[in-house]
Amino acid sequence: MSGTSMDGVTAALAKIEDIPEVQEHARPRLKVRLLTYETYPYPLAVREHLLELCEAGSTRKLCMMNFQLGEIFAAAALKIIEKAGKKPSDIGIIGSHGQTVCHLPRQGTLQIGEPAVIAERTGITTVGDFRPRDIAAGGEGAPLIPYVDYVLFSSPKISRVLLNIGGIANVTYLPAGTGLEEIKAFDTGPGNMLLDGVMQRLTKGELSYDKDGALASKGRVYSDLLAELMRHPFIRKAPPKSTGREEFGNAFLDKILDIAQQKGLSTEDLLATLTAFTVESIVENCRLFLGEFTELIASGGGAKNRALMRGLGERLVGVKVTTTQEYGIPVEAKEALGFAILAYQTLNHRPNNVPAATGAKRAVVLGKITQGR
């Protein structure tokens, strides 16, 4: 898995089995055990090429990067297999999300990292290209992890929100005792994307993120800028909805940096304000579009940002704010684990999208299967 932060490949190795009972799309039941995981950073030149592709790349570069990323993903798979003390012949399937370079809800989506290369280098059957089928079925192609959230975290008694804070933040609402058709899930707005962008710009690439939210914790929130950011139409747009760098990428960041310079904001104050923007956009979406819940479980890189997590805890009064770590899943590993689960269901010919979340007209089997050796 590689997300909108474009910082590298997270590989997870898991053992997945059916629980012996009837498998229904509305109530999938799987036994999932995470064996190990690791994040392998992209080489700097690769990351720069990817960021260029997202803004205005050439078809030649796109073609080249598709195969180069396939090699990188294959290498990550082989390393994580070795780390677990396994051999490629021990592995039944690889699920690869790829790297999103363009996502246009309901119009099209493109993830690169050629599955054929992964299958050829590893010899393992590979499922990739998950999002297009949902769009073909009338959906937004995102979010896809709600299916996984249901498998791992649904409860007969506790209403939960699963929050992933990657480049973009997204939520899955799991009301107590309900099936897939009753959950809600959507993107809420920027997660780490703007925070990471500020750090990379202002340090000229020396620092890629605000570790633990340390700098943001030293700053003060500039309320006028926060109010202006919260007026972005995506924040209060009704779901289903998804977003990415197309709305909150470099062009949006340029405007923010211009305002910050005009107002004389320090780096710390700008980071504090953008952290508050992530927090407030999440809280506002929960208020507008979700029912009651008593637990919020965060994952993704942003779950390690103490300033961000503290802000959520302060704003969500009466809600237990925690992370997937409490449930035995490292915050960096959940999405990679998720695509292993989706791939397992694809290989078993089981629908694994959530129409209630993506807006698709029907449940479909996601992904394309490339046979291994």
**What are the structural domain ranges in the chain?**
8-141+332-370, 146-327
- Do the domains spanning 8-141+332-370 and 146-327 agree at the CATH topology level? yes
Q: In this predicted structure, what is the pLDDT of residue 219? A: 97
Q: For the whole model, what pTM was predicted?
A: 0.88
- Asked if 246 contacts 167 with a C-beta cutoff of 8 angstroms, the reply is no
CB neighbours (10 Å) of residue 198?
Answer: 24
Q: In this predicted structure, what is the pLDDT of residue 319? A: 98
HSE (side-chain half, CA atoms, 13 Å) at 113: 31
Q: Is 40 left (phi over 0), alpha (psi -120 to 50) or beta?
A: beta
Tens place of pLDDT per residue across the chain (373 aa): 888 778 899 999 999 999 876 556 667 889 999 999 999 999 988 988 888 887 777 888 898 999 999 999 999 999 999 999 999 999 999 999 999 998 888 899 999 999 999 999 999 999 999 999 999 999 999 999 999 999 999 999 999 999 999 999 999 999 999 999 899 999 999 999 999 999 999 988 888 999 999 999 999 999 999 999 999 999 999 999 989 988 999 999 999 999 999 999 999 999 999 999 999 999 999 999 999 999 999 999 999 999 999 999 999 999 999 999 999 999 999 999 999 999 999 999 999 999 999 999 999 999 999 999 8
- Asked if 351 contacts 365 with a C-beta cutoff of 8 angstroms, the reply is yes
CB neighbours (10 Å) of residue 370?
Answer: 20
Kindly report the three-state secondary structure assignment for every residue of the chain: CECCCCCEEEEEEEEEEECCCCCECCECCEEEEEEEEEEEECCHHHHHHHHHHHHHCCHHHHHHHHHHHHHHHHHHHHHHHHHCCCCHHHCCCEEECCEEEEEECCCEEEEECCHHHHHHHHCCCEEECCHHHHHHCCCCCCCCCHHHHHHHHCCCCCCEEEEEECCEEEEEEECCCCCHHHCEEEEEEECCHHHHHHHHHHCCCCCCCCHHHHHHHHCCCCHHHHHHHHCCCCCCCCCCCCCCHHHHCHHHHHHHHHHHHHHCCCHHHHHHHHHHHHHHHHHHHHHHHCCCCCEEEEECHHHHCHHHHHHHHHHCCCCEEEEHHHHCCCCCCHHHHHHHHHHHHHHCCCCCCCHHHHCCCCCCCCCEEECCC
Domain 8-141+332-370 CATH (choose: 3.30.420.40, 3.30.70.20, 1.20.1080.10, 3.40.830.10): 3.30.420.40
Q: In this predicted structure, what is the pLDDT of residue 29? A: 84
Q: 146-327: which CATH topology?
A: Nucleotidyltransferase; domain 5 (3.30.420)
Q: In this predicted structure, what is the pLDDT of residue 184? A: 95
Q: In this predicted structure, what is the pLDDT of residue 25? A: 65
261 phi, psi to nearest 5 deg: -70, -40
